[in-house]
Amino acid sequence: MHGKLNPVRYLLYKGLKSVLILLMALSLLSDCKRELNENQETTGRKETFFDHAREEMVKAQIRNRGIKDERLLKAMLKVERHKFVPEEIQKFAYIDRPLPIGEEQTISQPYIVALMTELLKLNGDEKVLEIGTGSGYQAAILAELAREVYTIEILEPLAMQAEKLLQDLGYENITVKCGDGYIGWEEYAPYDAIIVTCAPPYVPQPLIDQLAEGARMVIPVGTAWQELKLIEKLNGQIKIFDTIPVRFVPMTGEGVKNGQN
C-alpha cells in the first residue's frame, strides 16, 4: 500500500530537479560559448596565417621576379587565393605552384597568373574575355583591374562553383558562362583583352576574330609543353610574340576535336 507523497518533499524534489536542469543548460551554454570562442580564435589565426602568406607570395614570387604593375600587385595582395582552392589544401595556396581544383583541372601558379595578366597591360577600362574559368581566381584578379570580365568554363561543375564563389565575394563585373571557350563569346565581342588559361594546339581563329583594334591576347599554345604567346592586333594586323615555355591543361571542346582553326 502506497502512502501519499509529502507535499513539502514533492516541492523540494521539483525545485531540485529544476535547478539541476538549469545547471545543465548553463553548462551546455558555457561549453558552446567556449567552443565558439575557440573556433573564432582558430579562424583568426588562420586568417592571419593566410594574410602573411599572401604578403610573402606577392613580395617573393611576384615583385622580386620582375612584375612591376603596381595595380596588379595590389590586386594579388587583395584577392584571397586560398578561397579558390579546396579546403584541405588551403595551407598550400600561396606557394608558387599550380594546385588541383577538381575535375582534373588546376589553378595556375601565382607567378604565371601575374605574368599573363601584366602582359595584357590593363588600365581599368577594358572589356576582358577569359577562356578557362577554373575556380575563378584569375577572373577575380582581372575584375580588380578591368571594367568588365566575361569568363567561359567548359566544365559545368566548375562553372557553377566559380560563379557562386565570385558572387559571394561581391564581384559584380564578372559574367560566367558554361560553354566551349574555343569559339569565344561573340555576343559581347570585340574584347580589349583575351586571356586563355588552357592550351590549344594552335591559336583558335574565333578568338583572333573577337579581338578589338589595339587589343592583346595571352595564350599558351602547344601540346605537352607550350609556348606562352602574346598576340597583338595593331592596324588590323596580327602580330605574335613568344614569351616563355609553360605547361597548362589542354583545351577541350568541339573546335579542338574537329581540328578547326
Determine the pLDDT at residue 224.
Answer: 84
The domain over range 98-257 is classified in CATH as 3.40.50.150: yes
CA distance 25 to 35: 15
**Residue 255: is its pLDDT beyond 60?**
yes
- Whether the predicted pLDDT of 37 surpasses 70: no
Report whether pLDDT(126) > 80. Answer: yes
pLDDT (0 to 100) of residue 33: 58
Which is more confident, 243 or 259?
Answer: 243
Maximum average pLDDT range among 28-37, 63-72, 251-260: 63-72
Q: Which residues contact 29 (CB under 8 A, 6 or more apart)?
A: none
pTM of the shown model: 0.82
Judged against a pLDDT cut of 60, whether residue 225 lies above it is answered with: yes
pLDDT digits (tens, 9 = 90+) for 226-247: 999 999 999 999 999 999 999 9
User: Which segments of the chain does DSSP mark as H helices, in order?
Assistant: 7-56, 70-78, 110-119, 137-145, 156-168, 205-209, 254-257
Say if residue 2's pLDDT is above 90: no
Assess contact for 131 and 156: CB atoms under 8 A: no
pLDDT band at 215 (very low <50, low <70, confident <90, very high): very high
Does residue 95 surpass a pLDDT of 60?
A: yes
Please count the residues of the chain: 261
Judged against a pLDDT cut of 90, whether residue 146 lies above it is answered with: yes
pLDDT digits (tens, 9 = 90+) for 164-192: 999 999 999 999 999 999 999 999 999 99
pLDDT of residue 12: 60
Structural contact between residues 117 and 137, judged by C-beta atoms closer than 8 angstroms: no
- pLDDT value at residue 242: 97
Would you name the residues annotated as active-site residues?
A: 108
The Cα angle at residue 163 between residues 211 and 127, in degrees rounded to 5: 25
The residue extents of the domains of the chain are 98-257
The DSSP secondary structure of 58-94, one letter per residue, reads IIIIIGGGT---HHHHHHHHHS-GGGGS-GGGGGGTT
> Chain-wide mean pLDDT for the chain?
90
